Amino acid sequence: MRVGLTIFLTDQTIHPAELAREAEARGFDSLWVPEHTHMPVEHSQHPAGGDLPDEYRRCLDPFVALTAAATATETLRVGTAICLVAQHDPIVLAKSVATLDHLSGGRFEFGVGYGWNRPECEDHGVAFSERRDALRDRILAMKALWAEEVATSDRPFASFEPSWAWPKPVQQPHPPILMGGALGPRTLAAVVEFCDGLMPIGGSGLDENVARVRQAFEEAGRDPDSARFSVVGGPPSPGKLEHFASLGADRTVCYLPTGPRDETLAALDAFTEASKDYLG
């Protein structure tokens, strides 16, 4: 099993390029960053409860930050955890994904999700109740732009005339698409239809969800062994990593705390020691 890192990078944290170099030097598999385009003052309650952490107001654009990380490294994979697809124009987002995959030499992974913040979503012109439909339409449209010489889409949330779009992603037919979130019936259907795997938060129910996804892949005529599972969790420990691997995860993505540079590097050293049996 591989071990990656995720962190809210902001204008007050370590630079993405420096963190990427440090992570690669220690043998971590990947670096992932979340996305919030902005934070309405009157926002929805954070799923974890309590006051909203400051980093939600300050996080960097994920594609710009990951480009800095990718161009500073040679083998480290970079990914979104997660990209709020319903908040993007699909033509522009397809271009961003393909460009990052091109510049990184095929090292991008596309973690996607629906989002929890109603005002943030609606500020982008999408009703919160329609964000799942918007995500589906836009990913299917982007897949056409990545794969076809001339692509078109007439979906309600992704409509454009026959168009050229280059560069194409290095990874064909596209970078891995991992769905973040709890695995309800609609999310399972989405994973099977247009994703390559699941990116759950924590390992609760992981063994059951791995089995459900693999069975659903098989029933849909997809190779069940191709399904990917990257579990997002807290600080690593040998027991936790071994447990996730035994349940079928092929990667654990560990949260680095958001803070000053020196605190992040100290946490990275601790994560390295705890994960040493799984690092490259």
Q: Model confidence over 225-235: pLDDT tens digits?
A: 999 999 999 89
> Which residue, chain included where needed, has tokens 């924590």?
202
Phi, psi at 154, each rounded to 5°:
-125, 30
Two tokens at 261? 């540079």
Least confident stretch, 55-69, 132-146, 196-210: 196-210
Please say if the pLDDT value at position 181 is more than 90. no
Has residue 194 got a pLDDT over 90?
A: yes
Mean pLDDT score across all residues of the chain = 97
pLDDT at 115 > cutoff 90: yes
- Residue 138 phi/psi, 5° resolution? -75, -35
Does the pTM surpass 0.95? The reply is yes
In 3D, which of 184, 203, 208 has the Cα closest to residue 253?
203
Mean pLDDT for the stretch of residues 42-57: 94
Rounded Cα–Cα distance for residues 235 and 180 (Å): 19
Has residue 198 got a pLDDT over 90?
yes
Q: What is the mean pLDDT of residues 157-171?
A: 98
pLDDT score of 238: 85
Read off the pLDDT of each residue in 73-77 and give the average, rounded to a whole number: 98
d(CA 108, CA 99): 10
E strand or H helix that includes residue 102: helix 90-103
Inter-residue contact 247 to 207 (CB < 8 Å) = yes
Tokens 């913040």, residue located: 117
Distance CA 236, CA 273 (A): 9
The CA-based diameter of the chain, rounded to the nearest angstrom, is 53
* Confidence (pLDDT) at 70: 98
Q: What gap in Å lies between CA 122 and CA 137, rounded to an integer?
A: 17
